[in-house]
Amino acid sequence: MKNRSLVSIEDYSKEEYMKILALAEKFEANPVQNILNGKVVATLFFEPSTRTRLSFESAVNKLGGRVIGFSDTSSTSVSKGESLKDTIKTVANYSDLIVMRHPIEGSSRYASEVSRVPIINAGDGANQHPTQTLLDLYSINKTQGKLDNLHIFLIGDLKYGRTVHSLIISLVDFNPTFYFISPKELMIPGEYKLMLDRKGIKYSEHLDFTDIVEKADIIYMTRIQKERFSDPMEYEKTKNSYVLKNNMLANAKSNLKILHPLPRVNEINTDVDDTEQAYYFTQALNGVYVRQAIMTSIFGLL
Ligand code: CP
């Protein structure tokens, strides 16, 4: 992992996922350390974010490093027409690592090809969000005591949901059974089904999940992402497709946990928040430890 960019979840092997998870557990026990002293991390967010940017910045601050960057391009030279290449080459002069979120698929890979410092993809359009996936794996492992042989429900926007795409790729190494639950307009893209077919992974597709909740070990809810639709009518048609409510969990397994990358709009009713199954806010907290593990591994410090 040392000095390597993390652009796609496929950049890491199963062994490397497990190393990150083990290291994150150590950071959870001891999150404040002075091991990034002298390191500068740049967070370049060309798209809005709360959790990803702030958990990266919190992770750096707790480890004694410094953060530079922007969360809005209107105050940068991007607004004057500066290219992504020139922005990255410039910021690489001022930092040791760049964390970047960008609306265009493939932008992180491109940035990694022109940067002299490693790039961490913090979300590139509808493509991937690999650090979210590592914190999702950490959260699943922590709540289930294992990653293998789990029944995973993925619900909502499976077409544009980058967190879903990265998570599916990472879990194929752990013999999951997937239940893809989405409106017809937002079904999982064919390329993911082809990959699962090739690897012999079981999956099924559904329009509803209320009659099968008792099968789930993990429910991974996602938001219908207004910003990804070119046709506003398509968004209006699908935006209220699923609302998970407390009374739907009556027959759930005792080990069921509900995850969501967040932000939520209305797809999880607030009456779920205080249940034993709700894990999404702790999941977001886990992002700090996992991102500490990722950055220290890239810096070759642990
Ligand atoms: N999960 C996630 O990417 O959240 P933000 O958009 O708030 O960073």
The model's pLDDT over 145-201, given as tens digits with 9 standing for 90+, comes to 999 999 999 999 999 999 999 999 999 999 999 999 999 999 999 999 999 999 999
Alpha carbons 17 and 9: distance in angstroms, whole number: 9
Mean residue pLDDT of the chain comes to: 96
**Looking at the domain 130-284, which fold is it?**
Rossmann fold (3.40.50)
Task: Write down the pLDDT at residue 201.
Answer: 98
Please return the burial class of 43, using the count of CB atoms within 10 Å of its CB with bins 0-12, 13-18 and 19+: buried
Task: Write down the pLDDT at residue 18.
Answer: 97
Fold match, 9-128+287-299 / 130-284: yes
Q: Measured from the CA of 122, which atom of ligand 1 is nearest?
A: 3
Q: Which residues line ligand 1 (CB under 6 A)?
A: 49-52, 123, 129, 132, 261-263
Q: Measured from the CA of 129, which atom of ligand 1 is nearest?
A: 3
64-88 pLDDT, tens digit each: 999 999 999 999 999 999 999 999 9
Q: Measured from the CA of 54, which atom of ligand 1 is nearest?
A: 8
- Every domain of the chain and the residues it spans: 9-128+287-299, 130-284
Q: How confident is the model at residue 61 (pLDDT cuts 50, 70, 90)?
A: very high
- Residue 200 CA to ligand 1 centre (angstroms): 31
CA-based nearest residue to 108, from 229, 2, 5: 5
Query: Strand pairing of 97-102 and 40-45?
Result: parallel
Q: How confident is the model at residue 302 (pLDDT cuts 50, 70, 90)?
A: confident
Task: Write down the pLDDT at residue 230.
Answer: 82
Is residue 112 pLDDT above 90, yes or no? yes
Is the domain 9-128+287-299 a CATH 3.40.50.1370 member?
A: yes
- Residue 284 CA to ligand 1 centre (angstroms): 9
- Residue 188 CA to ligand 1 centre (angstroms): 20
Residue with CA at minimum distance from ligand 1 atom 3: 52
Q: Measured from the CA of 123, which atom of ligand 1 is nearest?
A: 3
